[in-house]
Amino acid sequence: MKRLIHTALILLFSVLISSGQIPQRERFFQVSGIITDESSRPLPNVGVISVKLRRGAVSERTGIYAITSTPGDTILFRAVGYKRLIKVIPDSFEGKLFNMDIVMSPDTIAIKEVVILPWRSYNEFLRNMSEPRDVAPEIAFMNENIANIEAEIANTTGVKITAEAGYRYAMQQNFDAVATRNQYPVNNLLNPFAWAKFFSGVKDGMLKNQASTTTKPAKVRKAKTKNKSSVD
């Protein structure tokens, strides 16, 4: 009987000890704050990683971040162009919200200057500069058309193109292109205001022949002489 009671006490004592060794449930809370640089400007897209929980988050455009963590956790902050920063959460923290603002320092790496040239060697550069280049056909046609247009403008009386007029025409073309973007092009044949202006011009004599102010040189007719044969 004493042996049975002794065995029961030992089992009860072992159960009490084992129940006291059960680990407590892990507590979770939120870590949040604002990430800025040394000039107090918010840093977006900064990676925030909880090493203990293996979770991650990214800061917003305003630099605000939020991540779930536990006491004793290690938080890693990293961003392109900035030094990595490691922060440790205290084990004694018992709240539900841990506020931690971060200031990141720039990570500048000095490298040697690299000049990129379109030639592999100096000899290739000399050969490319000394050899004559063939002009592309479309560029040759474009230059020829521009020369012909300039010649016609110079030979046409009453036509004078200035820089101001060309600028206004170019701006009008750009405005029309922006106004009709993603739309069908403007067709004046379907414009009632254009038709009204046309009919008004017809009534005012727009299509009538007007006398020319330029004087034309008079044509000189040569008299024809007939050879009369004389009768001897």
Minimum mean pLDDT among 75-79, 133-137, 144-148, 162-166: which range?
162-166
SS3 78: strand
Q: What is the pTM of this model?
A: 0.41
Rounded distance between C-alpha atoms, residue 74 and residue 213, angstroms: 94
- The tens digit of pLDDT for each residue in 15-72 reads 555 554 445 577 899 999 999 999 999 999 999 999 999 999 999 999 999 999 999 9
**Pairs from 155-162 (Cβ < 8 Å, separation ≥ 24):** none
Q: Hey, how many other C-beta atoms are within 10 angstroms of the C-beta on 63?
A: 21
- The tens digit of pLDDT for each residue in 166-180 reads 788 888 888 888 877
Q: Please, what sign has the CA dihedral across residues 153, 154, 157, 163?
A: positive
Q: 13: pLDDT confidence band, cut at 50, 70 and 90?
A: low
